[in-house]
Structure 1
Amino acid sequence: MASFDFSRRATMPELMDTERCDFATFQGCLQDLARVNRLTLAYRPTLGFLDGLAASGRVPRERPLRILDVASGHGDMLRQILAWAERRQVAVDLVGLDLNPWSARAAREATPAAAPVAWHTGDVFAYRPERGFDLVVSSLFTHHLDDASVVRFLQWLEEQAAIGWFVNDLHRHSLPCRFFAAASRALRLHHFVQNDGPISIARSFVTEDWRRLLDRAGLPAGSASIAWWMPFRLCVARVKP
C-alpha cells in the first residue's frame, strides 16, 4: 500500500497476468472474482447502459442484439446480461472472449448449456469475428493494459461496435484500495484476488486519465461519457449517432 502513488497509474504486474497455474487454481480465482463483483454491485453500470439503450429505442427488435464481452473471465457479466435480456424480452446473441484458455472452460461450466453464449479464447487485437457486433462491453479489463494499449483498445472498440461500447472499470483512489486489502483478507478470498485487488485499483483510472486517453484515441470531445458509479467504479460509455 505504502508503495502506491495514486497520482498516476501503477505499473506493477498482477498474478493473474503473470503466474502460470492449473485449471482448478484459476477457476477458484474466477469464482472469487465473481463473488467480489456481486458484493460490489459491479454489474449495475453495464446493465444501466443497456437500460438506457433500450429506453432510447436503440435495441433492435427484428433480430438478436449481438454483444461481445472482452475479457469475459468467469462469464458472470454475460450471464447477468442474459438475465437482463430475458426480463426485457430481448433476443440476444452473446460472445465472451478471454486471453486465458482456462476462462472459456470455467465460463462454459458455469453457464447453462442452452444459453445463447459462445466462449472464445484469444487476443482481442487479433480477434476477427465472422459477424460484427452491435455492442462491445468490458469489465475490469482496461486497467490490465498500459496507456498505449488502452488507446489501441478504444480505437478497436470504435471499429467493432456498430451501436456503441461500454468500459466498466475502477476508480484509482487510496480508500477502496485500503478497504479491499482488509476485506479480501477477512473474507479469505483466493490469494490471487487478495494480491491483485489493490494492484488493480492502483493500476486503474481517474477522470482526467480517460479524457486524455479518449483524445489520444481520436474520439471527438463529448462523444463518450465518463461516469462515476458507487462504489468507486469509473465507466466510459459511447453510443454512436
Structure 2
Amino acid sequence: MLDQRSTADEWMDDMAAGEPEFAAALDELGRINRLTFAFNPVLSWLDRLVRQTGATELSILDVGCGGGQMLTAIDAWARKRGVAVTLAGLDHSPWAARYAAAQGVPARIITADLFDLDAAERFDVVLCNLFTHHLRDPDLVRFLHWSEDRATRGWLISDLHRHWLPWGVVWAGFRLMRFSPMVIHDSTVSIARSFVRADWERLLAEAGVQAELRWVFPFRWNVGVIRG
C-alpha cells in the first residue's frame, strides 16, 4: 500500500469544502502540530540559516500556510532570537486568510495558487511545511524550480516520511481522539502521498536541483538550500 506515493485526494483540498469544516480542521491540525512537534524541523533549520548567514533581518514566505500556525511559531522564534522578520503566507483556500486574521497571525496572507504568485515577489526565505505531499510529481518538480527562483537566502521543504509506523499510529490514534471526519481521512492519505528518500532523490534529479536531504524527527524529510 505504501510502496509508491498515493494519488488519492485529500478532502481539505476540495474547494467546495465550507468554511466551518475548514476552520474545524485547522483547529485540530494546530493541536496535532503541537503534539507531534511539527514546527521543530523548520525552526531548527532557521537557526542553522541564521548561524551560517549571519542574517538579522529576513523576509519569509510560508507556502501552503493554512491557518498560519507555522507563521505564528516563526514570529515567536524570531523574537527570542532577535531576528527582525517580515512574514507572508500563501494558500489557495479562500478560508485560510480569514482564519489567520481571526487568530491574529502576524503575517500578510496571500490567497492564490502558488504558480500564479506575482513574478516580482521575492523573499529571503521560502518555507513549505507539510504541504508538498499535496502536489503530484510534475508540479513538485516545478515547485523545486519555483523555490530556487523565489528565495534569495535559502528555501526549505519539510514533509512527511511515508512509512507504515506513523500511518498505523495516525489511523488508530486520530479515531480514538475523535477528530473530525476530514482530519481522520486526510491524515492517513497525507502519509500515503508523502515520501521516502528515493522519491526525493528522483525528484531532485528530475529538477536538476542540488539540495541537502535530511531525515529529521518525527518521521520527516527536510529538503533545502542555504546560501551564504
TM-score by length of 2: 0.96
Q: Secondary structure at the match of 2:175?
A: helix
- When structure 1 is superposed on structure 2, of 50-59 and 134-143 the one drifting more is 50-59
Correspondent of 2:102 among 94, 98, 109: 109
Aligned pairs for 1:22-41 (under 5 A) are 22-41=18-37
Distance across 1 between alignment mates of 2:189 and 2:201: 22
Distance across 2 between alignment mates of 1:77 and 1:162: 20
Distance across 2 between alignment mates of 1:182 and 1:194: 9
Would you identify which runs of 4 or more consecutive aligned residues in structure 1 move more than 3 Å?
none
The amino acid across from 1:66 in the alignment is: S
Correspondent of 1:218 among 184, 208, 219: 208
Distance across 1 between alignment mates of 2:77 and 2:11: 32
Correspondent of 2:189 among 174, 180, 199: 199
Aligned pairs for 1:38-57 (under 5 A) are 38-57=34-53
Q: Secondary structure at the match of 1:138?
A: strand
Distance across 2 between alignment mates of 1:47 and 1:214: 23
Please list every run of 5 or more consecutive structure 1 residues that lacks an aligned counterpart in the other structure: none
Q: Is the 8 A contact 2:121 2:150 kept in 1?
A: no
Determine if the alignment matches structure 1 residue 228 to structure 2 residue 212.
no
The amino acid across from 1:144 in the alignment is: H
Please list every run of 5 or more consecutive structure 2 residues that lacks an aligned counterpart in the other structure: none
Deviations 1:100-130 (A, max 9, x none): 0101110111125xx3x10110000010165
Name 1:75's counterpart in structure 2: 68
Q: Percent identity?
A: 43
Displacement of 1:192 after TM fit?
0.7
Distance across 2 between alignment mates of 1:110 and 1:43: 18
Deviations 1:172-197 (A, max 9, x none): 01111011011111111121110010
Pair 1:58–1:211, CA change in 2 (3 A)? farther
Q: Secondary structure at the match of 2:179?
A: coil
Correspondent of 1:123 among 109, 113, 120: 113
Displacement of 1:23 after TM fit?
1.3
Distance across 1 between alignment mates of 2:136 and 2:17: 24
Q: Secondary structure at the match of 2:162?
A: coil
Q: Secondary structure at the match of 1:235?
A: strand
Paired positions, count: 228
Q: What's the Cα RMSD here?
A: 1.3
The amino acid across from 1:110 in the alignment is: Q
Distance across 2 between alignment mates of 1:180 and 1:158: 33
Distance across 2 between alignment mates of 1:141 and 1:87: 26
